[in-house]
Amino acid sequence: MQVYLDNAATTPLDPEVIKVMTETMQDHFGNPSSIHAHGRRARTVVEKARKTIASLLKASPSEIFFTSGGTEADNMAIVRSITDLGITHAITSPLEHHAVLHTLEDLAQRSIIQLDFVRVDKRGHVDLDHLRNLLSQNPRTFVSLMHANNEIGTLTDIYTVSEICQEFNAIFHSDTVQTMGHYEHDLSTLHVDFLTGAAHKFHGPKGVGFIYINGKNKIRPLIYGGAQERNMRGGTENVYGIVGLAKALELCYQNMEAHRAYIQDLKDYMCTELQKNIPEITFNGDITSEGSLYTVLNVSLPCAEIADMLLFSLDIAGISASGGSACSSGSQIGSHVLQALGSDPEKPSVRFSFCKYNTKEEIDFVVKKLKEICEDRG
């Protein structure tokens, strides 16, 4: 059996997405910047996709800009906010994706901003009182906090964060790459300045994403070139990728509650089975349904001897997952997230992440193999 439980890294394409992308490749190959008929047809499908995404998010189409993915979108939000909106101070958490952390750290190292880190608890929840305190000391601050952590799944209440940011006139950016397509994002009620997504996290294609820029914020492009994306992002649009992104998000919104219930049940089932079969196993982050992204489960195993071989052993058994320990092991750099949480550096950790295509039979297989690996090497 081959089991794919690395959906937080990328998801398989939905067949309906493949269909619409294939049709677009065949029928709309023109450059959307060209003024002839072929170009106009390509432009039409791009703008239709933009309207679809804006409608789902309850935003204006003029606030949606297509990018190559979440990393570019995060960089655009951070760099251009700080350079164009008069920002001298930024706040983030030590658990953010490196697309956010490394960008902010580079700006801080070059003395462009002062950078502060908000405290997090052992389950990865942001200390909102500390955030408020940091904001009270620094006017005109840029705040970047992700909706759900990509390694441990812990959720941040971005609605409350947005209210706090409003109170202190701060610019708020949220990386929603892991939650886009899994939760509804209502931008008519969520007061966020920048929000980012990537298609391949919700059964769309790799290499395409988007950034929402609140209409009140006026920033310059990150990538210069042509006049694409209303002069906000140079480069010929990835037409079939954009169409695939919109179709994937549309499908997610159509079936969100059913898929959420199904995947949450898989996650809960795996938690129970792991505890039955490997009693000393521990979970990283918040695993409650209220406080955690239902597609992600991060565990630490009691058998230190298998740390260097865990993912390799799982791969040999036909199981795809992601991992990392809280410390460096040989040439492998440990997880900055687990380090920040104070996880036991001796315990090997693995992230299992689920999607609508996984089954309980697959979970049973994974638990059985994981138990065997621990017993053989532990």
Domain regions of the chain by residue span: 15-254, 256-377
Q: Is 252 among the catalytic positions?
A: no
The Cα–Cα gap between 207 and 228 comes to 17
Compute CA distances 113 → 138, 169, 208, 303, whole Å. 12, 17, 29, 43
pLDDT by residue (tens digit) across 251-277?
A: 999 999 999 999 999 999 999 999 999
Q: Identify the bridge partners of residue 148 per DSSP, sorted by sequence position.
A: 155
Determine the Cα–Cα distance for residues 315 and 321; give it in Å rounded to an integer: 8
- Residue identified by tokens 């901003």 is 113
In 1-151, which ranges are continuous DSSP H helix? 15-27, 37-57, 70-84, 98-109, 128-137
> What local confidence, expressed as pLDDT, does residue 168 receive?
96
pLDDT score, position 239: 98
Is residue 226 helix, strand or coil?
coil
In the block, tokens 């601050």 appear at: 141
Q: Taking the mean position of all CA atoms in its chain, how far away is CA 362? A: 24
Residue 304 has pLDDT above 80, yes or no: no
Are the beta carbons of 169 and 140 closer than 8 angstroms? yes
pLDDT tens figures, 165-215: 999 999 999 999 999 999 999 999 999 999 999 999 999 999 999 999 999
Per-residue DSSP letter, 291: T
Residue 330's pLDDT is what?
40
> Taking the complete model, does pTM exceed 0.85, yes or no?
yes
Q: Which of 271, 327, 355, 374 is catalytic?
A: 327
Q: Which top CATH class is 15-254? A: alpha beta
For the chain, give the mean pLDDT: 94
Produce one character per residue of 35-53: b if its CB has 16 or more CB atoms within 10 Å, e if not: eeeeeebbbebbeebbebb
High-pLDDT (> 70) share of the chain, %: 96
| Per-residue model confidence as pLDDT tens digits over 52-80 | 999 999 999 999 999 999 999 999 999 99
Smallest CA-to-CA distance from 68 within 223, 219, 227, 253 is with 223
Structure tokens at 224: 């210069």
Whether the CA torsion 349, 353, 359, 362 is positive or negative: it is negative
pLDDT in tens, 357-372: 999 999 999 999 999 9
Looking up tokens 């394409």 gives 13
More confident of the two residues 305 and 153: 153
> Which CATH number applies to 256-377: 3.40.50.720, 3.40.630.30, 3.90.1150.10, 3.40.50.300?
3.90.1150.10
